[in-house]
């Protein structure tokens, strides 16, 4: 796959649950190595969009591709090249950090040696070394979050989906987390992240603002601020939401 | 394949990490086995029986004696309360009351037919019927013995009817110990609880905590996830079965006349069916509580229609047809055959076939419902 | 009473219950289905028991016996064979349940000595049915006078077995046994089971559900949320259990109603009294549920523990199906400390016998005692656990 091409393409993606339209014809494209944000209030449709891209939900209409694989017909193939971190940090609470990592590594097809090597790398990068043998349930929230990220990138996916990865985490931990994200992106990993923290939007290369199932604006933080004559993304957001 | 291995290892780790759960999986069923082994019986013993003697002759005392020496009854002689006998039954002081009428002895002497009244508390229809049967036999035996002894003076009696004495031999379980039959059945029930309930619960729990979603995002295929969840419980189930069977043989002295390896094999096919059901139920339940209820619902029906407590032949055709899809029914029959009668594959082939069919169908259906991609 | 904090808790719990239609549906259907099964499908009286007959005598007398057996609704002669040695084979192939072997000298013995032996071989592998088969067969044969005019009717009232003693005919027995059945005239098994179902249902809803619900809150951490508020332990308990009390009671009443009006289970005693007894029993069941919830940390364990400790014993040891008098002493003792055992006597007593408090007071007292004991233990442990958690994390 050409590094300059788009690694994620979304075209008129839509999803309704019965009468409720959760995602309304959303379209965007993400380049390899980009950090792309979906910004919006709770219920705007961000998580639903991500889940369709990760192959967890079938789109009602529209389509796209992730890593070159078609969302509608090749969703199983997508799974091999992506990492996913859910809002709930879905980890096994009764397993230790090391066991969680070993498990997910194994599930993604990494051999013992590979898992060990990757775990060592991640421990360094994520600062999990001292927590390795602790039960996940006893981890402070910030470390749980890092463990969840670690589990998601163990197999070195080229695209990573992060769904509200910093919910409930203190500002220092949040900042540190974004440092990790940036490091990943610098390595060429495409990152698609959803958030409702306005300040985090600034860290994205580009972002789209979602409101009531639609994308109401799309561009880099600078572009958005210029377009809407605002000083902060928060102002952009308020304008868009009020105006809509 | 490696994916399944990882899943199994993780599951086992989780199970063994919870000491209470372990205790429940291994200790409690054993306890249940001991308790139920002795409690579960349709034998009728120690039935409280009142004898009311309105005659007070040697004849009536003779009859009372017969009852008193019978192992099924605990006899209490009381003074004649007249109409108040029913009160004893109502207050639960006795289940039966036998009333020997006045002139009982004289009637026997003169060969005149007489009547003994048996009042019984019919609440427990089963026990009442059996107890009544015993009473009938005792009375009949008494009558025929007296006739044979020729203790009467009247010529009418010598033309006594002729009586047939049944001499009974019982095969495979000479003392008709319920235990021999019940224990294997109870083992089957405990096995079903472990494999059906725990599997379903485990899957639903992952769905509730969100870790199932994390698994769905990986390249793991549905069959791998299902296998990863069921194999650990299959292993536990077999271990449990081995343990319980050992207890049954060593403690309760149940004979195993048949082939143990065959029992293990058939046990495996049974587990296949129950695990499949567990997975199927997990696709129907949104919460662990629902999974519990749905499983319990099926379990109750399975147990009642398994032939363990109530004979299937007696059931209406429609119901009998329903039992055809009850895996417990086949396993109970299998247990009975292998433990007591020593039947081999030749006899048990129909059961094996049915279990395989059920297992494959259920698993297939469950896997179909187990979408990695929702809606 | 400062119960002002209980209503919101109870209301929340109610909403939980109502929003889970699947569970509700099952909780309602299970006893109904069981009633139908016991009412229509399950029958302990044997009918058309498959017999094999090996008549080595081949005389009019032996033939008379065989025909009488075949004519009876209890038995069905499916195979007649010549060689007694074949019986085992028939057992193995599950063709017959028992074999009747009439010896060669049958008729002669009858004439000369007035009594003849007949061999019965019974397949004992299904001990339950085998003993019933044995009972029926032996009674039928032993109480059947042979010869002297047509056979007496095979007789026996419904469910009382094939004793020939009930009806008189030319060969009238010397001593007739006349049964008079009280409280369940037709010896209908439904009448026995339905009251029992009430007990089972309430134990299930009262103990099982309660323990699972509390455990769930522990698991999801919402219990902490409640603990941070100024609520007192007994208020937490009351709020959580009240809805289940209402639910269990309602379903129990439905069971009784359906049982009485559809299945014709008699209801001789006082309805109000029964309701009060139900509440008493529920009290004990709820206490048990709460107690169990203090012993576990996850739902799974709560479920398994409740199943093993409340539901299974209540079904097996309480006299619901299996007679307590036939159990060994130790188990009889255990049975006596189960709330279900006492409640069963009470509910059957009220429905079938028309018992009043005067008849039932020992059991009522036992229920009260057990309930209070359980509740005290439960509240104590619950407060302990709350105290251990509350305040410092």
pLDDT tens digit sequence for C204-244: 888 988 898 888 888 877 777 666 777 777 777 788 888 88
Name the closest residue on chain C to residue B160, using Cα atoms.
C114
Residues of C in contact with B297 (CB under 8 A): 26, 29-30, 33
Distance, in Å, from the CA atom of C185 to the CA atom of C192, rounded to the nearest integer, reads: 12
Please name the residues in contact with B217: beta carbons below 8 A apart, sequence gap of 6 or more: A54, A55, A56, A79, A82, A84
What stretches of C122-188 show up as alpha helix (H) in DSSP? 127-142
Q: ipTM strictly over 0.85?
A: no
Q: Report residue B82: phi and psi, to 5°.
A: 65, -120
Residue among A67, A101, A107 with most chain B CBs within 10 A, to mutate: A107
Q: For chain C, which chains pass the contact test of at least 3 CB pairs under 8 Å?
A: B
Q: Which positions in chain B have a beta carbon within 8 angstroms of at least one beta carbon in chain A?
A: 2-3, 5-7, 9-10, 13-14, 17-18, 209-211, 213-221, 372-375
Query: Of B327, B276, B321, which Cα lies nearest the Cα of B299?
Result: B327
Closest CA to C311 of C27, C13, C24: C27
Chain C CB contacts of B177 below 8 Å: 127
Predicted TM-score (pTM) of the model is 0.82
Nearest CB among A75, A88, A103 relative to B210 is that of A88
Chain B residues in contact with A107 by the CB 8 A cut-off are 3, 6-7, 215, 218-220
Instruction: Looking at the complex, report in whole angstroms how far the Cα of residue B253 sits from the nearest Cα belonging to chain C.
Output: 15
What's the rounded mean pLDDT across residues A228-235? 89
The CA distance from C348 to B125, in Å, is: 13
Nearest chain C residue to B157 by CA: give it.
Answer: C174
Whether residues C305 and B292 touch (CB distance < 8 A) is answered with no
User: B213 to chain A nearest CA, in Å?
Assistant: 8
Please give, rounded to a whole number of angstroms, the shortest distance from the CA of C248 to a CA of chain B.
Answer: 15
As a whole number, mean pLDDT of residues B205-212 equals 89
Locate all alpha helices (DSSP H) within A3-70, ordered by sequence. Answer: 46-53
Nearest-angstrom CA–CA distance, C280 and A110 = 60
Give the H or E element holding residue C343: helix C339-348
Spatial separation of the C-alpha atoms in residues B296 and B168, rounded to whole Å? 41
Residues of A with Cβ-Cβ distance to B372 under 8 angstroms: 55-56, 76
- The predicted structure's pLDDT at residue C365: 95
Over residues B336-347, the pLDDT tens digits come to: 888 888 878 888
CA closest to B224 among chain A residues: A107
Ranges under pLDDT 50 in chain C: 1, 148-171, 390-393
> What was the pLDDT predicted at A226?
92
* Distance in angstroms (rounded) separating the CA atoms of residues B36 and B57: 45
- Sheet with A159-163, side-by-side order of all strands: A82-85, A159-163, A190-195, A35-40, A206-211, A214-219
pLDDT for position C288: 93
**Beta-carbon count within 10 A of B124 CB:** 26
Spatial distance between the Cα atoms of A143 and A141, rounded to a whole number of angstroms? 5
Q: What is the pLDDT of residues B235-260, one digit of tens each?
A: 999 999 999 999 988 988 888 888 88
With the C-alpha atoms ordered C369, C372, C373, C375, is the resulting torsion angle positive or negative?
positive
Contacts of C308 in chain B (CB under 8 A): 24, 28-29, 31-32
pLDDT at C34: 86
pLDDT given for residue A10 in this prediction: 94
Q: Kindly report the nearest CA distance between residue C315 and chain B, in angstroms.
A: 10
Model confidence pLDDT, tens digit, residues B267-319: 999 999 999 999 999 999 988 889 988 998 999 899 889 888 888 877 888 88
Residues of B in contact with A108 (CB under 8 A): 218-219
Chains adjacent to B (≥3 CB pairs closer than 8 angstroms) = A, C
Instruction: Say yes or no to pLDDT of B152 above 50.
Output: no
B346 — contact with chain C (CB < 8 Å)?
no
At residue B281, the pLDDT reads 94
**Helix, strand, coil % in chain A, rounded to nearest 5:** 40, 30, 30
Q: Report yes or no: C189 at the B interface, CB cutoff 8 Å.
A: yes
Residue B22 phi/psi, 5-degree rounding, is -60, -45
Flag whether pLDDT at A244 surpasses 80.
no
Closest CB to C131: pick one of B139, B176, B304: B176
Chosen from B30, B39, B42 to mutate, greatest number of chain C CBs within 10 A:
B39
pLDDT score at C388:
60
Burial of C290 per CB tally in 10 Å (0-12, 13-18, 19+): buried
Please check whether residue B74 is in contact with residue B47, taking contact to mean a CB–CB distance below 8 angstroms. Answer: yes
Mind telling me how many Å the CA of C228 is from chain B's nearest CA?
Answer: 24
The pLDDT assigned to B42 comes to 74
Beta strands in C103-249 (DSSP E): 115-123, 175-182
CA distance A195 to A180: 16
For A154, the closest chain B residue by CA position comes to B218
Tokens 């129907």 sit at which residue? B284
| Chain C residues with beta carbon closer than 8 angstroms to that of B49 | none
Instruction: Give the residue from chain A lying closest to B214, CA to CA.
Output: A90
* pLDDT score of C156: 38
Distance CA A190, CA A156 (A): 11
What would the pLDDT profile of A174-214 be if each residue is shown by its tens digit? 888 899 899 999 999 999 999 988 888 889 999 999 999 99
Cα A112 to the center of its chain, rounded Å: 27
Taking CB atoms and an 8 Å limit, are A90 and B210 in contact across chains?
yes
For the cut 60, the answer to whether the pLDDT of residue B356 exceeds it is yes
Q: What is the pLDDT of residue B226?
A: 92
Would you say residue B221 has pLDDT above 70?
yes
d(CA C89, CA A88): 64
The mean of the pLDDT values for chain A is 89
User: How is residue B374 written in tokens?
Assistant: 């929702």
Residues of chain B in contact with residue C187, where contact means CB-CB under 8 angstroms, are: 122, 125, 128-129
Residue B375 pLDDT:
64
Q: What digits encode the pLDDT tens for the residues B111-149? A: 788 889 999 998 888 888 888 888 887 887 787 777 767
Q: Identify the band that residue A1 occupies on the pLDDT scale cut at 50, 70 and 90.
A: very low
List CB contacts (< 8 A) between B28 and chain C. Answer: 304-305, 308
Select the residue of B43, B173, B301 nearest C124 (Cβ to Cβ): B173
């Amino acid at each position: 796959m050409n590094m300059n091409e788009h690694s994620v393409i979304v075209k008129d993606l839509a999803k309704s649950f019965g009468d409720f339209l959760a995602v309304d014809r959303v379209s965007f494209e993400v380049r390899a190595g980009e950090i792309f944000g979906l910004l919006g209030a709770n219920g705007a449709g961000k998580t639903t969009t991500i889940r369709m891209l990760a192959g967890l939900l079938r789109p009602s209409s529209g389509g796209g591709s992730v890593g070159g694989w078609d969302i509608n017909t090749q969703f199983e193939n997508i799974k091999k090249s992506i990492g996913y971190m859910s809002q709930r940090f879905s980890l096994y609470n009764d397993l230790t950090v090391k066991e969680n990592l070993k498990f997910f590594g194994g599930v993604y097809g990494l051999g013992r040696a590979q898992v060990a090597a990757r775990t060592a790398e991640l421990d360094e990068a994520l600062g999990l070394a001292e927590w390795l043998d602790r039960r996940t349930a006893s981890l402070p929230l910030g470390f749980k979050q890092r463990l969840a990220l670690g589990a998601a990138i163990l197999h070195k996916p080229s695209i990573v989906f992060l769904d509200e990865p910093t919910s409930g985490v203190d500002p220092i931990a949040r900042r540190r987390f974004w440092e990790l994200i940036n490091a990943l992106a610098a390595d060429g990993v495409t990152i698609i992240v959803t958030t409702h923290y306005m300040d985090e939007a600034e860290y994205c290369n580009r972002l789209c603002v979602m409101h009531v199932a639609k994308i109401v604006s799309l561009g880099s933080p600078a572009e958005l601020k210029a377009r809407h004559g605002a000083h902060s993304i928060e102002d952009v957001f308020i304008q868009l939401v009020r105006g809509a | 394949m490696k994916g399944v291995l990882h899943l199994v290892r993780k599951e086992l780790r989780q199970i063994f990490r919870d000491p209470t759960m372990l205790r429940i999986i291994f200790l409690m069923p054993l306890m249940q086995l001991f308790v139920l082994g002795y409690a579960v019986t349709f034998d009728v013993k120690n039935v409280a029986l009142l004898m009311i003697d309105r005659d007070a002759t040697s004849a009536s005392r003779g009859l009372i004696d017969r009852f008193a020496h019978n192992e099924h009854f605990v006899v209490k002689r009381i003074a004649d309360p007249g109409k108040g006998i029913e009160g004893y039954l109502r207050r639960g002081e006795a289940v039966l009351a036998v009333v020997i009428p006045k002139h009982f002895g004289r009637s026997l002497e003169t060969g005149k037919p007489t009547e003994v009244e048996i009042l019984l508390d019919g609440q427990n229809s089963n026990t009442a019927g059996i107890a009544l049967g015993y009473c009938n036999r005792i009375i009949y035996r008494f009558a025929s013995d007296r006739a044979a002894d020729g203790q009467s003076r009247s010529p009418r009696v010598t033309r006594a009817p002729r009586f047939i004495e049944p001499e009974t031999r019982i095969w495979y379980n000479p003392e008709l110990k319920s235990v021999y039959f019940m224990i294997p059945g109870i083992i089957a029930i405990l096995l079903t609880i472990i494999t059906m309930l725990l599997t379903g619960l485990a899957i639903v729990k992952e769905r509730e905590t969100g870790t199932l979603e994390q698994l769905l995002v990986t390249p793991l295929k549905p069959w791998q996830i299902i296998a990863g969840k069921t194999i650990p419980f299959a292993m536990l189930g077999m271990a449990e079965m081995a343990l319980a069977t050992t207890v049954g043989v060593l403690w309760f002295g149940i004979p195993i006349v048949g082939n143990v390896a065959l029992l293990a094999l058939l046990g495996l096919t049974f587990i296949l069916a129950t695990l499949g059901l567990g997975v199927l139920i997990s696709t129907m339940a949104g919460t662990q509580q629902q999974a519990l209820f749905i499983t319990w619902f099926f379990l109750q029906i399975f147990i009642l229609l398994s032939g363990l407590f109530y004979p299937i032949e007696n059931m209406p055709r429609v119901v009998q047809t329903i039992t055809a899809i009850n895996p417990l029914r086949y396993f109970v029959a299998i247990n009975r055959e292998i433990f007591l009668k020593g039947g081999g594959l030749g006899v048990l082939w129909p059961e094996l076939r049915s279990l395989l069919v059920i297992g494959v169908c259920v698993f297939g259906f469950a896997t179909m419902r187990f979408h990695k991609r929702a809606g | 009473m400062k119960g002002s904090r209980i209503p919101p808790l109870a209301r929340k719990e109610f909403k939980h219950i109502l929003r889970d239609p699947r569970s509700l549906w099952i909780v309602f259907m299970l006893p109904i289905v069981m009633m139908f099964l016991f009412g229509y499908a399950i029958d302990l009286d044997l009918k058309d028991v498959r017999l094999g007959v090996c008549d080595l005598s081949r005389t009019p007398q032996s033939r008379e016996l065989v025909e009488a057996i075949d004519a009876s609704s209890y038995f069905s002669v499916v195979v007649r064979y010549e060689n007694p040695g074949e019986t085992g084979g028939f057992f193995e192939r599950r063709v017959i349940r028992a074999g009747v072997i009439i010896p060669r000298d049958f008729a002669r013995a009858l004439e000369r000595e007035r009594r003849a032996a007949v061999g019965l071989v019974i397949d004992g592998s299904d001990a339950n049915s085998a003993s019933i088969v044995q009972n029926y067969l032996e009674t039928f044969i032993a109480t059947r006078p042979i010869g002297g005019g047509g056979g007496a009717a095979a007789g026996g009232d419904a469910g009382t077995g094939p004793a020939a003693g009930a009806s008189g005919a030319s060969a009238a027995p010397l001593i007739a046994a006349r049964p008079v059945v009280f409280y369940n005239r037709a010896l209908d098994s439904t009448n026995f089971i339905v009251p029992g179902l009430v007990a089972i249902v309430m134990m299930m809803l009262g103990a099982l559900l309660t323990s699972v619900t509390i455990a769930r809150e522990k698991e999801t951490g919402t219990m902490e949320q409640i603990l941070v508020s100024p609520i007192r332990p007994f208020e937490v308990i009351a709020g959580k259990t009240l809805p289940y009390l209402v639910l269990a009671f309602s379903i129990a009443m439905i069971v009784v109603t359906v049982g009485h009006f559809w299945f014709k289970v008699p209801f001789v005693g006082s309805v109000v009294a029964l309701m009060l007894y139900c509440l008493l029993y529920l009290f004990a069941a709820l206490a048990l549920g709460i107690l169990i919830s203090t012993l576990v940390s996850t739902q799974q364990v709560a479920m398994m523990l409740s199943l093993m400790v409340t539901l299974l014993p209540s079904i097996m040891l309480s006299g619901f199906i299996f007679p307590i008098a036939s159990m060994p002493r130790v188990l009889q003792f255990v049975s006596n400390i189960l709330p279900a055992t006492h409640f069963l006597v009470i509910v059957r007593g009220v429905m079938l016998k028309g018992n009043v408090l005067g008849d039932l007071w020992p059991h009522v007292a036992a229920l009260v005692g057990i309930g209070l004991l359980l509740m005290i233990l439960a509240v104590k442990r619950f407060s302990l656990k709350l105290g251990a958690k509350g305040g410092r994390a």
